[in-house]
């Protein structure tokens, strides 16, 4: 920790020297007045400072809107309005996106760069939990001996429900679900050795492991490569929920030999609430082999990883022949089921075009600086200030975290602290009963945002302690 006080001038200097600072201009940041007027009763009630940007540190929940999304969506609406059904095949010289029949290609290449995959290993489709079911349909193959699924004890509830329902679907009991529980439930840190030894302990009966890349609650960035290699060494298939990792931390899914993964695009990818998701299937699982002896009409003429299929996963060249023959597209695209929402995919294409202005490595560098600054400020006690009312539960090892720092408040403080933050137009989110998640997002947050947050947060904690 540095000696002396941290000042707002210093925060501004850090911003001025920041080579990625210009990217903030790409985003619409809700103003303080916008957030106040969220409550319609306050409409028209203008105050000085209302035009200032809010302190938005909530990209771990919903990323901000890129300005260029408007241009992309306008193009989509214009195409639909002027072309109707021809939009499926219409090429424009000035097109921001391809014809709708190829709309996934507008996002797939850039998505592959973000997750560290070959383009053919990525499909733009569906939503996270739905994709998880499709992937489990392919990759969870219980046998009499190996049928258990390992997740971690505080898995995002949707993953937990999905896995339990998959077990039930195979007529297996809930006891076939094994959880990796943290040694200290208070901070929910999962040491690597602990993860590996739990997998080893159940290996002889385990068919599949499903883990988060970055943990939604603690912000821990798990060692995906090492855990994947360990599972494979024990003959276990492994998949990853990358909701909090994608667009946040560097990923190399292909090189790390991950079997499958899925994510959402509304957090660090900024594609909009509930926007279309994506999935990764390693190239080795996406192969399609055509049987040389088969005739055209036989449905069993291809060998491929079994899946729940739909027409959008079938070869484009024959798709519109409307034949009852599923000819899987090689790679992850063969897992597509329905024609994707063009509106959604256009929004994703717009947000990924912002990522294309920089690199994940540069964003990571900036992210580490922002989180380090946040941790230092939170740790830095002001003169005579001992009763802070909080502690950081995210790992202090920078390699074990993404953009999110989770802060645990002393008992009974959360409501008051959140009330004060909201009044001050500071946007973070809470995980009841006592955790606040704060995510300086490297695409649009500044050191000044972090400085302002800590000032308001510390004061809020003091007020909450005084009121308790």
Ligand X SMILES: Cc1ncc(COP(=O)(O)O)c(C=O)c1O
The residue ranges that bind ligand X (CB under 6 A) are: 127-129, 156, 158-159, 212, 216, 241, 243-244, 264
For residues 111 and 329, which CB has a smaller minimum distance to ligand X in the complex?
Answer: 111
Residue 273 labelled as part of a binding site: no
Provide the sign of the torsion angle of the four alpha carbons 420, 423, 427, 431, taken in this order. Answer: positive
Contact 228, 210 (CB under 8 A): no
For residues 11 and 258, which CB has a smaller minimum distance to ligand X in the complex?
Answer: 258
For residues 268 and 302, which CB has a smaller minimum distance to ligand X in the complex?
Answer: 268
Q: Strands of 122-124's sheet, edge to edge?
A: 122-124, 278-281, 260-263, 237-241, 206-212, 148-152, 177-180
| Least Å from the CB of residue 277 to ligand X | 6
Residue 159 labelled as part of a binding site: yes
Residues 6+ apart with CB under 8 A from 100: 79, 87, 88, 89, 342
For residues 136 and 420, which CB has a smaller minimum distance to ligand X in the complex?
Answer: 136
Residue 244 labelled as part of a binding site: yes
Residue 102 labelled as part of a binding site: no
How many CA atoms, within 13 angstroms, populate the side-chain half-sphere of residue 110? Answer: 21
| Least Å from the CB of residue 161 to ligand X | 10
Contact 262, 232 (CB under 8 A): no
For residues 132 and 456, which CB has a smaller minimum distance to ligand X in the complex?
Answer: 132
Q: What does the block give as tokens for 96?
A: 């921001």
Residue 158 labelled as part of a binding site: yes
Q: Round to the nearest angstrom and report the end-to-end CA distance of the chain.
A: 31
For residues 26 and 344, which CB has a smaller minimum distance to ligand X in the complex?
Answer: 344
| Least Å from the CB of residue 407 to ligand X | 18
| Least Å from the CB of residue 212 to ligand X | 5
Residue 312 labelled as part of a binding site: no
Give the residue at shortest CB distance from ligand X.
129
Residue 156 labelled as part of a binding site: yes
| Least Å from the CB of residue 33 to ligand X | 28
Residue 265 labelled as part of a binding site: no
| Least Å from the CB of residue 436 to ligand X | 16
Of the candidates 230, 158, 234, 232, the residue with the CA atom closest to the CA atom of residue 195: 230
Residues 6+ apart with CB under 8 A from 370: 403, 440, 442, 445, 447, 450
Give me the torsion for CA of 435, 436, 441, 442, rounded to 10°.
-80
Task: Please report the DSSP string for 163-220 in residue order.
Answer: HHHHHHHTT--GGGEEEE--SSTTTT---HHHHHHHHHHHGGGEEEEEEESB-TTT-B
Of the candidates 135, 122, 170, the residue with the CA atom closest to the CA atom of residue 240: 135
| Least Å from the CB of residue 395 to ligand X | 17
| Least Å from the CB of residue 155 to ligand X | 8
For residues 159 and 344, which CB has a smaller minimum distance to ligand X in the complex?
Answer: 159
Residue 22 labelled as part of a binding site: no
For residues 241 and 449, which CB has a smaller minimum distance to ligand X in the complex?
Answer: 241
* 3-state SS assignment for residue 366: helix
Residue 311 labelled as part of a binding site: yes
Binding residues for pyridoxal 5'-phosphate: 128-129, 156-159, 241, 244, 266, 311, 339
Binding residues: 128-129, 156-159, 241, 244, 266, 311, 339
């Amino acid at each position: 920790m540095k000696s002396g006080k941290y000042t707002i001038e210093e925060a501004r200097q850090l911003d001025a020297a920041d080579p990625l600072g210009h990217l903030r201009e790409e985003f619409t940041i809700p103003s303080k007045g916008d957030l106040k007027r969220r409550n319609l009763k306050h409409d028209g009630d203008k105050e000085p400072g209302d035009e200032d940007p809010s302190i938005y540190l909530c990209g771990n929940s919903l990323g901000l809107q890129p300005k260029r999304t408007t241009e992309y969506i306008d193009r989509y609406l214009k195409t639909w309005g002027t072309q109707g059904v021809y939009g499926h095949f219409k090429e424009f010289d000035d097109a921001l996106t391809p014809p709708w029949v190829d709309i996934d290609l507008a996002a797939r290449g850039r998505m592959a760069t973000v997750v560290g995959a070959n383009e053919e290993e990525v499909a733009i489709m569906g939503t996270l939990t739905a994709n998880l079911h499709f992937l489990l349909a392919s990759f969870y193959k219980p046998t009499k001996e190996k049928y258990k699924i390992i997740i971690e004890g505080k898995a995002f509830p949707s993953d937990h429900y999905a896995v339990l329902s998959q077990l039930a679907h195979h007529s297996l009991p809930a006891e076939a679900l094994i959880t990796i529980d943290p040694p200290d439930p208070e901070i929910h840190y999962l040491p690597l050795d602990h993860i590996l030894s739990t997998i080893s302990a159940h290996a002889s009966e385990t068919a599949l492991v499903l883990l988060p890349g970055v943990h939604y609650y603690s912000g821990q960035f798990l060692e995906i490569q090492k855990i994947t290699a360990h599972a494979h060494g024990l003959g276990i298939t492994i998949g990853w929920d990358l909701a909090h990792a994608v667009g946040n931390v560097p990923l190399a899914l292909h090189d790390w030999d991950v079997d499958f993964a899925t994510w959402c695009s509304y957090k660090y990818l900024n594609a909009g609430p509930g926007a279309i998701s994506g999935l990764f299937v390693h190239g080795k699982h996406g192969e399609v082999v055509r049987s040389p002896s088969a005739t055209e009409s036989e449905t069993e003429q291809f060998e491929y990883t079994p899946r729940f299929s739909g027409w959008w996963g079938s070869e484009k060249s024959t798709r519109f022949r409307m034949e009852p023959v599923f000819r899987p597209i090689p790679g992850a695209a063969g897992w597509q089921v329905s024609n994707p929402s063009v509106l959604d995919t256009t929004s994703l294409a717009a947000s990924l075009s912002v990522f294309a202005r920089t690199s994940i490595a540069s964003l990571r560098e900036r992210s580490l600086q922002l989180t380090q600054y946040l941790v230092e400020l939170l740790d830095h006690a002001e003169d005579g200030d001992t009763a802070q009312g909080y502690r950081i539960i995210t790992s202090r090892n920078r390699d074990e975290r993404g953009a999110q720092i989770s802060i645990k408040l002393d008992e009974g403080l959360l409501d008051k602290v959140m009330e004060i933050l909201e009044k001050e137009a500071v946007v973070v989110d809470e995980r009841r009963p006592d955790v606040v998640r704060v995510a300086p997002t490297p695409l649009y947050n500044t050191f000044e945002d972090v400085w302002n947050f800590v000032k308001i947060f510390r004061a809020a904690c003091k007020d909450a302690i005084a009121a308790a």
